Amino acid sequence: MEQTWKQAKAAFAAIAVPPLAWLLLFFLVPMAVVWVYTFGENSGPTTIDFAGTFSNYTRALEPLFLEIFAKSVVIAGITTLMCLVIGFPVALAIAFASPKAKAWLLLLIMLPFWTNLLIRTFALIAVLREQGYVNFTLEWLWNNASGFMTLVGLQPLGEYEPLTLLYNNFAVIVGLVYVHLPFMVLPLYSALDRMDRSLMEASLDLGAGHLKTILLVVVPLAAPGIASGILITFIPALGSYLTPDLLGGTDSQMIANVIERQFKRANDWPFGAALSFLLMYLTFIAIALQALVQRRSDRRS
């Protein structure tokens, strides 16, 4: 028999109050302060007047910043899509692995989290740069192929030209996919793992192929997991600033880089706050969409 919280108010309060107090004190209150800043005005080098003005939002909605928002959405969107395409087969494989292998595979997925993001990003620089491991490997293959061609009497391939893999948008997306992949795999795995296997067996028995079963049975059943995976990949990717800063080129500015500079060099906290909250409103919209998907799938089952 399921108990509602009303039957054990004291126990519920004991468990719920500390995290709620934490949330209120260290999240909602600071957020409220920043939200108030969005309507403020700089009145001196370190002082902000609460002016009740919308000028920060008006400025944040100028085409310049909207374009940067749009670009950030596109980069985060590509990242999320790549994570989904790569993460879904991985999650499927883990869900169908033997219990012992499952534990190891999940550990492998989570292992990168034990290393600081900054260190992982610097490691990626060492992998991708012109004097990096990818180019070393390609150069080795190139030289061997070249040697082989001279051996069989063909023209050698010539000097190896290292690929430019770093300091462009490609590098930013590689970095973001690398960092965010676990965020996608874990919710997908938990959705796939919970799934009723007999439905898949029924689909296969009734003549659908493997691909058809995955597309028509597994994917719809895993829709809530996919939606939450997309959400928790997309939101942090949208607000990332370290990756574009370190791996990006002159064309890789994302909105969080602009926000960071408002709080530092520009010393314009109200405007930085307004940009941050625009990002936040976008996040709310994304969460609302996800809730919608969730509700629709709940209704269906």
Partner 1 sequence: MAKGKYLQGASRRSLLKQFGAGALAISFSGGLAACGRGGGGPTVNVHNWATYTGETTNDDFREATGTRVNYTNFASNDELFAQFRAGNQGYDVIVPSNEYVTRMSQAQMLQPLDKTLIPNAANILPEFQDAGFDPGRVYSMPYTWLCIGIGYRKSKMPSPDFVPNSWRYLLDSPQFSQRIAVLGESADLIRLAAKYKGHSINGIPEAMLSEIEQMLIRQKPHIKQFHSDTGQDLLASGEVDIVMEYNGDIAQAILEDDDLAWTFASEGSMQNQDCLCIPVGAPNVEAAHAYINYVLDGAPGAGIAEYIQYATPNRAARDLMPDSYKNNPIVYPPPVEMAKLEYGAFEGDEVSRRYEEIFTRISAA
Instruction: Please report, as ranges, the residues that interact with partner 1 according to CB under 8 A.
Output: 42, 44-46, 64, 67-68, 71, 118, 122, 129-131, 164, 166-167, 242, 245-246, 248-251, 253, 257-258, 261-268
CB of 123 to partner 1, least distance (A): 13
Buried b (16+ CB within 10 A) or exposed e, 122-159: eebeebbbeebebbeeebeebeeebeeeeeeeeeeeee
Nearer to partner 1, 187 or 239 (CB): 239
* Cβ proximity to partner 1, 175 vs 248, nearer residue: 248
Cβ closer to partner 1: 257 or 297?
Answer: 257
**What is the 8-class DSSP label of residue 101?**
H
Task: State in angstroms the smallest separation of the CB of 268 from partner 1.
Answer: 5
**Spatial separation of the C-alpha atoms in residues 113 and 9, rounded to whole Å:** 37
Choose between 119 and 206: whose C-beta lies nearer to partner 1: 119
Complex with partner 1: residue 3 or 250, whichever CB lies closer:
250
Q: Scanning the structure block, which residue is given the tokens 């930013």?
A: 172
* Nearest distance from C-beta of residue 242 to partner 1, angstroms: 7
- Provide the minimum distance between the beta carbon of 23 and partner 1 in the complex, in angstroms, as a whole number: 22
In the complex, least distance from residue 258 CB atom to partner 1, rounded to whole angstroms: 6
Burial grade of 187 (CB within 10 A; 0-12, 13-18, 19 or more)? buried
Q: How far apart are the first and last CA of the chain?
A: 22
Phi-psi region of 207 (alpha: psi -120 to 50; beta: other; left: phi over 0): left
